[in-house]
Amino acid sequence: MKLFRNKILLLPAFVFLALPFYGFMTAIVQSLGNEEPLSHYWDLLDSDRFLASIAFSIRTAGIATILSIAIGLLLIRSFYKILVQLSPRLRVWIPMLFPHFVWGYMVILLLGESGIFSQIAVVSGWMESQADFPIWTRDRYGIGIIITYVWKEVPLVILLLLPVYSSIRPEYYALVDTLGGNGWNRFTTVELPHLLPVLVESFLIIFSFSLTAYEVPALIGTTFPEMISVLGYEWFYGSSWDDRPLAFASMVSISIFLLILTIIGYTFLNRTRLKAMRGGK
């Protein structure tokens, strides 16, 4: 009876899943086109523009994700006791109030070559002209994109990790301390096992978002190299419609890449979980 009810409870979620999966399947069908199958995918592999974009996207999204998680983890470890209070937590969450593209706009306002920082640097006599200010937005290294994403995702990481930290019982720490463990031991033996699933998930969520979201790179990215989402959008909405299947093919390729990454992540998690269970018994 109870099991049956549990299945019923899962029903809404699976009805919902029909939406994205149907959409994704249609995208796959569109990417195949009418001619010989996979021809669009071969076109992609021939396109220098696509390959350069893929490399740049993975690099940029990867750096943004790792930085977000590292900084978020550092902040939460250092200030956990403060962050459980409402008002400090709200302060940290301020960037989450704003949509990504609004935050990107803020980054330009602040760090652009004629932004507030460069103006202050010149007026205060620190730099001679605004031309001396380093190029941090719309730059070829993706610095602006990374800054925007890290700034926006660190609060998300804190949001995702905070419940985990509050679930760790203080007794565990006491145990490590009595056994003579140091701070590092505390982290690896107490926190990490709790954190691991959430960390893997946070990585996947942030990585796939920053890899495929359009708005921020469109605003703060440069002409070349470009993020894959911008290229896909260009192929999709550009006025030469022959490129449309290419847009679908590039998005499907990215999706498949992300799915593989997800499977690897979850296999890894499942294994450590099993190990922990066996070890426990």
Partner 1 sequence: MKRKISYLLLVFLLLSACSQASTSERDWTKPSWDEITSEAEGTEVRLYMWGGDEGINQYIDEWVTPRMKENHGLTLERVPMDTPEILQKLQTEKQAGKQEGTIDLIWINGENFKNAKENGLLMGSFTHTLPNFTDYYDTNSPAFQTDFGTAVDGMEAPWGKVQFVFHYDSDKIEDPPASFEELHAWIHNNPGKFTYPRAEDFTGNAFLRHILYAQAGEPEDIYGQPLEEERIAETAQHTWTYLNDITGDLWRSGEHYPNSLTELDRLYSQGEVWMTMGYNESRAESLIEEGVFPESTRSFVMEPGSIGNTHFLSIPFNSQNRPGALTAINEMLSPEAQLAKFKPKYWGENTPISFEKLSEEMRKQFKTVERGKSVLPPEKLEKSFLPESEAAYVELMREQWFNEVVQK
Partner 2 sequence: MRSRKISFSIIACVFFVFPMILLLLQSVSSPWRFQSEDGFTWQWTSYQKLLQDPMLWEATLTSIVIGYAVLVINFIIGLFTGKALVSSPYKGKAWVEAILLSPILLPVLAIAMGLHLLMIRIGLADTLIGVILLHLVPTVPYSIKIFYNGYNQTGPAMMEQSNILGAGFWTQIFTVELPLLRPAIRSLTFLTIVISLSQYAITAIIGGGRILTLPLVFFPYMENANTSLMAAFSIWFAVIPVTMYIVIELLILLLPYSRLPWRNHR
Gap between the Cα atoms of 73 and 106, Å rounded: 24
Please compute, for residue 148, the number of CA atoms within 13 A of its CA located in the half-sphere on the CB side: 35
- In this complex, which beta carbon is closest to partner 2, that of residue 66 or of residue 261? 261
Stretch that binds partner 1, among 76-84, 129-137, 147-155, 158-166 (CB under 8 A): 129-137
Closest distance to partner 2 from the beta carbon of 20 (Å): 4
201 binds, among partner 2, partner 1, none (CB under 5 to 8 A by kind): partner 2
Distance CA 48, CA 224 (A): 12
Considering only residues 78, 126, 140, 241, which one is a binding residue for partner 2 as defined by CB under 8 A?
78
- Of residues 70, 82, 192, 276, which one binds partner 2 by CB under 8 A? 82
Q: Are 58 and 137 in contact (CB under 8 A)?
A: no
Contacts of 199 (CB under 8 A, 6+ apart): 69, 73, 161
Pick out residues in 226-245 that bind partner 2 (CB under 8 A).
229, 232-233, 236
2 binds partner 2 (CB under 8 A): yes
Does 91 contact partner 2 by CB under 8 A? yes
SS3 content of the chain, % helix, strand, coil (to 5): 80, 0, 20
- Give the interface segment with partner 1, choosing from 21-29, 133-141, 155-163, 184-192 (CB under 8 A): 133-141
Report 208-267 residues binding partner 1 (CB under 8 A): 218, 222-224, 234, 236-241
User: For residue 188, what is the DSSP state?
Assistant: I
Sign of CA dihedral 221, 222, 223, 224: negative
Interface mask (CB under 8 A) for partner 1, residues 43-82, using x and -? -----xx--x------------------------------
φ and ψ at 163, to 5 degrees?
-60, -35
Helix (H) or strand (E) holding 77: helix 48-83
Cα distance between residue 136 and residue 117, in whole Å: 11
Rule CB under 8 A: say whether 127 interacts with partner 2: no
Specify the residue, 17 or 192, whose C-beta has the smaller distance to partner 2: 17
* Chain centroid offset of residue 86 CA: 25
Judged by CB under 8 A, the stretch of 33-41, 45-53, 162-170, 174-182 that binds partner 2 is 162-170
Chain residues binding partner 1 by CB under 8 A are 48-49, 52, 113-114, 130-131, 135, 138-140, 218, 222-224, 234, 236-241
